[in-house]
Chains A and B, each alone.
Chain A
Amino acid sequence: MVASRMQQSGRKLMAAALGMALAGCDLLGGGGEPDRLARWVLPNAVLLGDAKADPESGEKIQQSPDGRGYLFMPSPNSKEAPTRLYLVPLATVDPAIDAAVRKAVFPGGVATYRTGRGIGDHADSGTVERLAETELEAFYLAFTIVDQSALCEGLSKPCDGVGRIMLLGKLKGRPVVGQDSVVLMLDALMSASLAVFDKIMDTAPERCGFDPNRDALPGHIAGACRTMLKLEWAHDNDFTLDQIGGALPLSPEALKVLLAQLPKGSFYEKGELLGRMEKVQ
């Protein structure tokens, strides 16, 4: 097993070197293939619940061809690509982080959340509900992988990468996917994907020649400074940026760096969980 893995990485290194030589220049800064995390996810993913079509949206859910995840076919007129979703138990990735998340979500053994809450919502709509920790089965990381979503071998050959990661809680007796599924979605990982940049943001005034946090400027100009620093941090730490400007890990090691940020963040605001129970119709 070890020998074949070494052969594999040896082949990959050669292919990458060849790709870069052919490209005629050293384009890759970070140096690693962007599908390393996806390759790690597959053997660690577990299936939960049956896959069935969602009759309302026309979106079809099947088991992925590799049998380790779920394949979502978009609605017929949608411009979106088919995506695969894989679930990896947080406890198997990092038991200490899993314990810390449990404690943070269920202070005193109870989570308090508001129904009907959107992301970043501060509305008073919905009702406040409680969830006992005993009703939670486990936390999972949900990885979205799209075919040919990255470029490997010196940015020359299409490969499949992880485009998004979510943190969710599975409830006992309730499937995560398919009919009757209910999951506890947490915003904490999205927050962590922004919080990893905190240290480099301290250098913003010197690097940008203005202070994106203090100066009276249009948001897109403050955002330009932040984006430049995010790209720099990502480049130096084996990450890239996701579609909403958060840090996206490219390897299992980078994933651990992201997860280490989780316990440092807030899970609650004004006594209510930064997250929501999602019912799939």
Chain B
Amino acid sequence: MRTRNRLAAAAALILMACTPDLQNRIIVPAPIEFGAVAQGAQLAVLRKAYVSEDGRHALFFVGDGAAISVHLVDKTGLMAIDKIPAPSAQGQGESAANEAGNEAASQLDQLYLPAGAFAVIPAQQGQLAYFRQGKLSMVTYIADQAGGLQFGAAVDTELLAKLIDAEGGSSAVDVLPAVWDGKGSKNLQLVLFRDAPAALGKILTANTRALFHAVVEGDRGTRWQESDLPAPTGLSDAAAIEALRQKVAEAG
């Protein structure tokens, strides 16, 4: 019944776009211990500028491994990641500030990165982004790809549960059975973190590709292409930012 497929597909699309409340993510109500943050050559990929697949946005990073932030450029220039509106004002494009903030928020949602600083943790074939908000820790993946990066947060929670159990960390989590509806990735277990298992950082860095396979191979990653334009050295690097602005303005 195409009805069923249309309904489910449309529901999934709308809810994913508007409310990224997906269940297969690393969300921990405590700090997570990682071995070390990225340093020196490990940050090389983040010293480049990247352009979105449709060519309409560019991004670059400012900072070091302990505290790095992503910045976005559209045809009007630096995007307003500092003007993300409160939920009550979100989706309302009445004021230009709201609209600019909404667009910035939308880009950050696709990248699964915060508006502020995050730590960069070296991982398999890429790096993890580790950031906190209030009491929560979140970990997402920035995968290295030939000529680009792929961003995402979707984790194989079935594998994650097994790895946590193997490392003796089960007392820090509750595992729920999941039921697959036949579409997309097949997670049969969901993980609810009550605390951060001591080995969680090690598990994530030693099994990154297997855990985040949906980001790289599936449809859960947002791909950005490396730009031949130089990455701005900082937010006051007006010339480099302008060059990126012109580039993305060409895409319309």
Contact = CB atoms under 8 A, between A and B. Distances in A.
User: How many interface residues does chain A have, given as a range?
Assistant: 35 or more
Interface stretch (A5-13, A106-114, A133-141, A210-218): A210-218
Contacts, number: 223
A217 B170 CA distance: 31
B8 interface: yes
B1 A181 contact: yes
A214 B186 CA distance: 33
B182 A241 contact: no
Contacts of A29: 174-176, 192
A232 B18 CA distance: 22
B188 A280 contact: no
A209 B134 contact: yes
Interface in A194-242: 207-210, 212-228, 230-232, 234-235, 240-242
A27 to B, nearest CB: 5
A220 B136 contact: no
B112 interface: yes
Contacts of A92: none
Interface stretch (B9-17, B206-214, B232-240): B9-17
A82 interface: yes
A164 B184 CA distance: 14
Contacts of A245: 15, 19, 21-23
A54 B182 contact: no
Nearest to A165: B181
Interface string B1-36: 111111110111011101111110101010000000
A162 interface: yes
A212 B5 CA distance: 31
Nearest to A234: B176
B165 A209 contact: no
A183 interface: yes
A244 B3 contact: no
Given A220-B109, A227-B23, A243-B12, A150 B181 contact: no
B128 to A, nearest CB: 15
B131 to A, nearest CB: 8
Q: Most A CB atoms within 10 A — which of B25, B84, B134?
A: B134
B229 to A, nearest CB: 26
Nearest to A177: B1
Contact of B136 (A23, A164, A190, A228): A228
B198 interface: no
A155 B162 CA distance: 10
Contacts of A225: 27, 133-134, 136
Nearest to A222: B87
Interface string B98-129: 00010001101100111100000000000000
A37 B107 CA distance: 39
Contacts of B176: 29-30, 231, 234-235, 240-241
A61 interface: yes
Given A213-B87, A216-B86, A155 B4 contact: no
Contacts of A228: 27, 29, 136, 192-193
Nearest to A166: B7
A23 B14 CA distance: 39
B190 to A, nearest CB: 6
A278 interface: yes
B146 interface: no
The 3 tightest CB contacts between A and B, nearest first, are A209-B134, A163-B181, A161-B179
Given A164-B181, A219-B19, A227-B23, 20 more contacts: A54-B2, A81-B182, A119-B11, A146-B180, A207-B135, A208-B133, A209-B135, A210-B133, A210-B134, A210-B136, A215-B87, A216-B87, A218-B109, A219-B90, A227-B27, A231-B192, A240-B176, A240-B177, A244-B11, A278-B3
Interface of A: 23-30, 33-34, 54, 56-57, 59, 61, 70, 72, 74, 79-83, 85, 118-120, 142, 144, 146, 149-152, 155, 161-164, 166, 177, 181, 183, 185, 190, 207-210, 212-228, 230-232, 234-235, 240-245, 248, 250, 278, 280-281
